[in-house]
């Protein structure tokens, strides 16, 4: 947990956001994050983010499911408790396929969703600072971490990128356990100050 100072720029269209991102990055600023109300395609590329490896995790979980199903059923039917079902073989691979397939999908899906939540640090009870109440509605918000020396200059630069609103906010940069209907201590202190 660390409370930091951020320069916040709010844009009202992704068509303004893209050149702004380009401009800010080429000016040498490090963008803390960009918040958008929906998945804006190409924004990850514009921000220089590398492709997500989530699908690789999914593949590993899937293979684990396959091995678990085949291994478990095979062990039970050949070693632990071999039964004779109408003279059928003890390792009937074709008849194992449905359950093997289902477990592959189940492991991959559950594993991926959990990994997704872990990587994004999201779960019920987690709270994050919302820079603009409409960043989940129709506004596109770019956030740059600043300090007292570069604050004014960063804000001026953001203003020149076509932002509809620019401001400084002191905010928690990470997630914490909290409720969205309650104000945090640091937010109350700011209001008092």
Residues 12-41 contacting other proteins, CB under 8 A: 14-15, 18, 33-41
Q: Is 9 in the site for other proteins (CB under 8 A)?
A: no
The minimum distance between CB 148 and other proteins, in angstroms, equals: 26
Residue 28 zone, left/alpha/beta (φ > 0; ψ -120 to 50; rest): left
- Binding to other proteins in span 141-170, by CB under 8 A: none
Query: What residues have CB less than 8 Å from 169, skipping those under 6 apart?
Result: 5, 6, 8, 129, 131
Taking CB under 8 A as the binding criterion, the range among 1-9, 80-88, 151-159, 165-173 that sits at the site for other proteins is 80-88
Minimal distance, residue 152 CB to other proteins, in Å: 26
How far apart, in Å, are the Cα atoms of 136 and each of 60, 71, 87, 141?
33, 46, 61, 10
Between residues 74 and 150, which has the closer beta carbon with respect to other proteins? 74
Choose, by CB under 8 A, the member of 9, 11, 135, 144 that binds other proteins.
135
Distances (CA, A) of 82 to 18, 45, 69, 77: 64, 55, 17, 5
């Amino acid at each position: 947990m660390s409370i930091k100072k951020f320069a916040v720029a709010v844009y009202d269209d992704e068509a303004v956001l893209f050149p702004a991102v380009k401009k800010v990055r080429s000016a040498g600023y490090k963008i803390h994050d960009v918040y958008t109300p929906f998945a804006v395609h190409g924004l990850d590329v514009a921000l220089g983010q590398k492709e997500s490896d989530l699908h690789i995790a999914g593949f590993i979980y899937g293979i684990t499911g396959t091995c678990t199903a085949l291994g478990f059923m095979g062990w039970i039917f050949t070693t632990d408790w071999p039964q004779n079902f109408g003279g059928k073989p003890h390792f009937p691979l074709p008849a194992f396929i449905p359950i093997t397939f289902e477990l592959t999908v189940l492991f991959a899906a559950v594993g991926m969703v959990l990994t997704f939540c872990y990587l994004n640090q999201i779960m019920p009870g987690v709270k994050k600072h919302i820079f603009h109440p409409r960043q989940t509605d129709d506004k596109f918000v770019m956030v740059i971490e600043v300090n007292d020396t570069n604050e004014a200059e960063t804000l001026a630069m953001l203003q020149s990128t076509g932002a509809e609103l620019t401001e400084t906010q002191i905010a928690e940069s990470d997630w914490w356990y909290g409720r969205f209907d309650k104000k945090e201590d640091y937010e109350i202190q700011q209001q008092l100050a």
